Structure 1
Amino acid sequence: MRGSSNKKIDPRIHYLVPKHEVLSIEEAYKILKELGIKPEQLPWIRASDPVVKIIGAKPGDIIRIVRKSSLYGEVVSYRYVISG
């Protein structure tokens, strides 16, 4: 097939995809302590999510997502990685 390519596209380079990063155990513990919650109480994100796979996050990890906002500058949120 002409023009066909098996190249995978990195979704992180798209302007609509916010920055995702896996927290270290120390960072995760600190955030959970500040919020006074357990990891499972965070919003979930599946391990099969394209960005989650690219950054190498595994079930049980916590991800920091930093979105740019014209109103608030930067908005930080956290997600708990689940299997699936």
Structure 2
Amino acid sequence: MKEAPSAVSILEHELVPKHEIMSPEEVEELLGRYRITLNELPRILASDPVVREIGAKPGDVLRIHRRSLTAGLSYYYRVVVREE
């Protein structure tokens, strides 16, 4: 079943944090800084509405900007994966 296109972008909703696709250089720096591999990052499915909206593909790493009253601005990273 194919979904009808949304009249409003989900990215404009106040509860959806900013998501951006990181460049390969940024990903390399991130993995080196935390001494981790791509497989150790949290995952997000390619079918996620935000992932589809921004055009991310499996293997891309997303930087998610989170705002909080206690921590201020923090970043969360996820790697896009296919459905399992």
CA–CA separation in structure 1 for the residues paired with 2:5 and 2:46 = 21
Could you tell me which runs of 5 or more consecutive residues in structure 1 were left unpaired when the two chains were aligned.
1-5
> Match of 1:16, SS?
coil
CA–CA separation in structure 2 for the residues paired with 1:19 and 1:53 = 14
Aligned residues with identical type, % of pairs: 46
Moved over 6 A (4+): none
How far 1:10 moved relative to its partner? 1.3
> Match of 1:54, SS?
helix
Q: Which residue does the alignment assign to 1:26?
A: 25
Q: Could you tell me the TM-score, scaled by structure 1's length?
A: 0.89
CA–CA separation in structure 1 for the residues paired with 2:42 and 2:26 = 17
CA RMSD of aligned residues (A): 1.0
Q: Could you tell me the TM-score, scaled by structure 2's length?
A: 0.89
Matches within 5 A, 1:1-84: 6-8=4-6, 9-84=8-83
Q: Aligned partner of 1:70: which letter?
A: L
How far 1:7 moved relative to its partner? 4.3
Q: Aligned partner of 1:33: which letter?
A: G
CA–CA separation in structure 1 for the residues paired with 2:51 and 2:44 = 8
Indicate the structure (1 or 2) with the bigger Cα radius of gyration.
Answer: 1
How far 1:72 moved relative to its partner? 1.1
